[in-house]
Chains A and B, each alone.
Chain A
Amino acid sequence: SQQGEEDPQALSIQEGENATMNCSYKTSINNLQWYRQNSGRGLVHLILIRSNEREKHSGRLRVTLDTSKKSSSLLITASRAADTASYFCATDPNAGGTSYGKLTFGQGTILTVHP
C-alpha cells in the first residue's frame, strides 16, 4: 500500500504562478524525498528533507516538513511550462534508526503548466 498520499491529484496553472503540492504519510520517517517524472520516463530526484528539518530550498523549490502532522509540501515558484510533469513524494521509513532506502511513493500529483 502507498504510504504517501498526494494532494491534489492534478493541478493546472498558468506560467508564472506558484504550484503547491501536499503529501501526507503514516509512519515515522528518516527523510522525505520529492521526485519529478516526465510522462513515461525515469524519476528525477528533486530534493530531500530530513526528519529533523522543517524547511529546505533548492532554486525555485521549497519543501516543508511537519513531522507532527506527518505531512510535507512542495512549492514551485514562478512555474514554467517545462515544469509540467508528475511529482511524487517518497518516504524513507525509520525502522529503529535504520534505513534501507525502502522508499514508499505516493500516487503523485500531475502538474500542468500552461504557457
Chain B
Amino acid sequence: DSGVTQTPKHLITATGQRVTLRCSPRSGDLSVYWYQQSLDQGLQFLIQYYNGEERAKGNILERFSAQQFPDLHSELNLSSLELGDSALYFCASSVGLGTGGRNNEQFFGPGTRLTVL
C-alpha cells in the first residue's frame, strides 16, 4: 500500500460525458501527478500540482483539467469523453519538487480504470 488513494476504482460511462477522478496523496506529500496508461500510448504524464499550484504539464488534452485543493487532494476532470479516453488513470505523489538536485521518488495510487462506451 503506497498510501496514495484514488476513487473510484472503476468508472464506466458514455461518450460525451464528463467524469471526475479523485486522488488523495500520501500524508505530507505536497506534489501530485496524474498519468494516463493506455495500450497504445503506454504511461504518459499528464499534469503536476505542487501545494495547490500547477507546476508542469505533459500530454494533457484541452478537454481534461485538474486542480489541487487546500487539503492537497487532487481531482482530474475529463469532459466530452471519447472512446480513446478509455485507460487507467494513475495519481502519484511525492514530498517535493525534486529541485536542487534532490530526488523525486513518486508513489503511485492503485489507479482508476475508465471505460468509455
A50 interface residue (CB < 8 Å to B): yes
Contacts of B44 in A (CB 8 A): 105
Per-residue contact bits, chain B 43-56, to A (CB 8 Å; 1 contact, 0 not): 11100101000011
A-B contact count (CB 8 A): 85
The interface of chain A, by Cβ under 8 A from chain B, is 2, 30-31, 33, 35, 40-45, 48, 50, 88, 90, 92, 97-108
Cβ-defined contact, B88 with A101, below 8 A: no
- How close is B67's CB to chain A, nearest CB, in angstroms? 17
B24 interface residue (CB < 8 Å to A): no
B111 interface residue (CB < 8 Å to A): yes
Contact sample, A vs B, 27 pairs, CB 8 Å cutoff: A2-B42, A30-B104, A31-B104, A33-B106, A40-B113, A41-B110, A42-B4, A42-B111, A43-B43, A43-B92, A44-B108, A92-B103, A92-B104, A97-B101, A98-B97, A99-B97, A99-B99, A99-B102, A100-B97, A100-B98, A101-B56, A101-B97, A103-B33, A103-B35, A103-B45, A106-B42, A108-B42
Query: B interface, how many residues as a size bin?
Result: 20 to 34
Contacts A31-B104, A98-B99 given; indicate if A42 touches B2 (C-beta within 8 A). Answer: yes
